[in-house]
Amino acid sequence: MGGVLWNIGAFIVALGLLVAVHEFGHFWVARRCGVKVERFSIGFGKAIWRRVGKDGTEYVLALIPLGGYVKMLDGRVDELKPGDEQFAFNHKSVWARMAIVAAGPIANFVFALFALWLMFMIGVPAVKPVVGEVRPASIVAAAGIEPGMEIVGVGDKATGDWESVTYALISHLGDDSVQLKLKAANTSYAVDKTLQLDGWQFDPDKESPIGSLGIVPLGGKVLPVVEAIVPKSASEKAGIQVGDRIKRVGEQEVTEWAQFVLQVQQSPEQPLPVVVERAGSELTLTLTPDVKKVRGQLVGFVGLSPQLVPLPDEYRILLQYGPLQALWQGAQKTWSLTTLTFDMIGKLIGGIVSLDNLSGPISIAKGAGSSADYGLVYFLGFLALISVNLGIINLFPLPVLDGGHLVYFLIEAVTGKPVSDKIQEVGFRIGAAILMLLMGIALFNDFARL
């Protein structure tokens, strides 16, 4: 329950902040263009806080934190008093109206740049992209990639950590192949390896892009030695103790922790003979895993954790820069996120990427909560990613979004006359239907992932 509340709290903070940034973009440019702003609202529905400023604008914090709006004086919906025409949105030039509408998405991109600049100023802990293991019969195995190699480039992008490798690989989803630049251990020169990506697909809920290609990143070593036991768990009932080394489970020799985990998960409420080494002697115990439901399937669990040998410091890096360099890195990252998002949208439209990958507010809440768990720098990175996505989505040429309004204004600028109210109304209805359909798919995917 605490985790759910934490996710909800992080979601409200993240979305509230990003909506405020977006709407402030509209608000700020509208004021600069001489438009009267009647209301600035964060959220929809019943107001839980309101205040009227000296400028006459009503500032509102509403109950449902899933959006916001800026209500401007507009002769199409408001009765204008004599002299109010100069302050009405619809009486401004088409270029001023385009600037006001475009300011919201632009504010999201500016905020993403600021968040990433701050993130790089604080410093981002990262790990060099060194291959730990190569799974047999995988795409990377077929390419001749070996453990110990460091991935220094994917396609035309340089890669200094696993995050940059992941983003670069995702951008090639649907391509026939991609070339990787790798350095073998203790060498200074790079070699090229080509991954054949025909038919490459992966389920982001079950595996990472890197794992789906057959790469296991070099990381801290997990030993099949018991570090801690949950009181009253199946492990404690079986007599397992801290310090026990698990040698065998059922008929399988255990050399890696993952082997033990797999056997346990596949044997809910089934007695398992487990051989442990304790004080130089081997003991045979009977372990009966408890059962829990994970994504609709019953899996076993026993309530113990293994010993971890941390990754050597030589593989750890800190991405930290001075103010100017951090700004440059932030700009590059913002551009990378923007191009990746457009690329994935194109592949969704083209059917290369499944609609199952669409995410809604529940997935965003989980992402906000988990990133906040890791600390401020990761939460800033999450905010930047969602801010870029919010800016791009609002630029979609759907009449209910900023992009749709920009299309109408562009037509007006070219033809010299505004789009008729009837056409705009039809467009709004079609846009609303498409948007509701996409939101429905995203919510369905969210619930399917629970």
Say how far apart CA 43 and CA 63 lie, in whole Å.
6
What are 426-435's contacts with CB under 8 Å, separation 24+? 427/399, 428/399, 428/400, 428/404, 430/399, 431/398, 431/399, 431/400, 431/401, 431/404, 432/400, 434/398, 435/398, 435/400, 435/401
Q: Is-catalytic flag, 236?
A: no
Q: Residue 257 — φ and ψ, nearest 5°?
A: -60, -35
- What SS3 string covers 200-231? CCCCCCCCCHHHHHCEEECCCEEEEEEEEECC
Q: Which residues contact 258 (CB under 8 A, 6 or more apart)?
A: 222
Say how far apart CA 179 and CA 190 lie, in whole Å.
12
Closest CA to 365 of 66, 95, 136: 66
Closest CA to 352 of 199, 130, 192, 147: 199
Q: Which two tokens stand for residue 3?
A: 């985790």
100, 386 contact by CB (below 8 A): no
Q: What SS3 class is residue 254?
A: coil
Q: Going by DSSP bridges, is the β-strand pair 316-319/215-217 parallel, antiparallel, or unpaired?
A: unpaired
Q: Which helix (H) or strand (E) holds 30?
A: helix 2-32
Choosing from 23, 85, 253, 277, the catalytic residue is 23
Catalytic residues: 23
